Amino acid sequence: MTGVGRDGQQSSTPQTEAPTDQTDSASALRHPTGGSDRLRRGGGRGRGRKGKVESVVPEAEFTSYYGRPIVKPSPWEHDIPAYLFAGGVAAGSSLLAAGADLTDRPSMRRSGRLGAIAALTFSMVALVHDLGKPSRFLNMLRVAKPTSPMSVGTWILSFYGPFAGAAAASEVLSMLPGERKGVLRLAEVAGRPAGVVAAVAAPAVASYTAVLLSDTATPSWHEAFRELPFVFVGSAAAASGGLAMVTSPVAETGPARRLAAGGALLELVMEQRMERSMGVTAEPLHHGHAGTLMKAAKALTAAGAVGTLLGGRSRAVAALSGAAMMAGSACLRFGVFEAGQESAKDPKYVVVPQRQRLAEHGPTRFPA
């Protein structure tokens, strides 16, 4: 049976036979090595040859019931990290599109508006696929609960989506030949204010998904709550800037390059800081499938940032750098997701942080 010591190291204790009754089961759960009996009967402290006080009681080791996980891994599948990635691309693209519209960069404005609605549509399809049917998303709009990240996120998307859609519709109308009249003309003119409102909502769209993950009991998500919003915002900026670099001419993508490079730097710096602050729960970020994805994310994002800064006005380098940052952002979302799922399967990542908090802050006492 697998257990965890007070020092946070995982240990393996052979399980010779199963408990035969309830009393034996409870005793084995508390102290699988039998230390509790020794503690009660002869435990304590003794004096060595030179009068030094030595403990004769072995350190108690933790183990969960038959080694089963303490918290359940989330039922989410790969729809969710895809939803996280596409939502970030949509938010950053709306921000770039609004800026391009105000600074007379028509190609980047078009790329941003159409990229935002395409990414948002993909994101919503992934979310609804995970929920099972569209009515479950609509049911979440029946209440507004400020203490629920899921409820707040639903309302943020519901506010952001129509304005991003109106800006994209205006862009499509502007591409059609001929002069628009009546409602079509009104829809075309509404593109700029709608795009600005979507840009205002973009930071919330890019960051709320980090709150959604860190507000769960999943150890590697919860312990990342301090830095994960910054990591996701940086990732969204890098990916959306990368999309603009792929789809727009170099002459118009100066702001997109700066946004992408700044986002990549923010992502890389805050991701390192996040790993240091997470303690033992950062281990899943370095092992297995999650570790491979996180290494790929760092390499792709760093390579994309370097290409963005050193590529000059080369269209090919700009496109390759943008694609690398988009791929890096996707790997980051999937890597964080996989690490969280793995952390929920090992009791160590639940118990060790709890004991550390208990040692640092003492037990939490609520007023009667």
% residues pLDDT > 90 (the chain): 62
For the segment 82-113, what is each residue's pLDDT rounded down to a tens digit?
A: 999 999 999 999 999 999 999 999 999 999 99
Which helix (H) or strand (E) is 147 found in, with range? none
Which residue do the tokens 């059609």 mark?
A: 176
Instruction: Count each helix (H run) and each strand (E run) in the chain, helices first.
Output: 14, 4
Burial of 271-295, coded b for 16+ CB within 10 Å and e otherwise, reads beebbeebebbbbbbeeeebbebbe
Give the pLDDT score at 32: 39
pLDDT at residue 143 tops 60: yes
For the segment 150-190, what is each residue's pLDDT rounded down to a tens digit?
A: 899 999 999 999 999 999 999 999 998 888 788 888 888 99
How many angstroms separate the CA atoms of 67 and 54, rounded? Answer: 31
Give the pLDDT score at 224: 94
Pick among 3.30.450.40, 3.40.50.150, 3.40.605.10, 1.20.1630.10: CATH of 78-354? 1.20.1630.10
The alpha carbon of 155 is separated from its chain's Cα centroid by a whole number of angstroms, namely 19
Average pLDDT, the chain: 84
% residues pLDDT > 70 (the chain): 82
Give the pLDDT score at 29: 39
pTM: 0.80
pLDDT band at residue 348 using 50, 70 and 90 as cut-offs: confident
For the segment 211-234, what is each residue's pLDDT rounded down to a tens digit?
A: 999 999 999 999 999 999 999 999
Strand partners, 62: 4
Looking at per-residue confidence, does 26 or 190 come out higher? 190
Three-class DSSP category at 72? coil
How many angstroms separate the CA atoms of 210 and 237, rounded? Answer: 14
Which residue do the tokens 């990591």 mark?
A: 231
For the segment 288-332, what is each residue's pLDDT rounded down to a tens digit?
A: 999 999 999 999 999 999 999 998 789 999 999 999 999 999 999
φ, ψ at 122 (rounded to 5°) = -60, -40
Three-class DSSP category at 4? strand
Q: Are strands 45-47 and 53-55 parallel, antiparallel or unpaired?
A: antiparallel
Give the pLDDT score at 356: 84
Using an 8 Å Cβ cutoff, are 327 and 293 in contact?
no
Give the pLDDT score at 111: 95
Q: Domain ranges in the chain? A: 78-354
Cβ-count burial of 203 within 10 angstroms (0-12 exposed, 13-18 middle, 19+ buried)?
A: middle
Using an 8 Å Cβ cutoff, are 8 and 352 in contact?
yes
For the segment 232-267, what is each residue's pLDDT rounded down to a tens digit?
A: 999 999 999 999 999 999 999 999 999 999 999 999
Mean pLDDT of 121-128: 94
pLDDT band at residue 62 using 50, 70 and 90 as cut-offs: low
How many angstroms separate the CA atoms of 224 and 230, rounded? Answer: 10
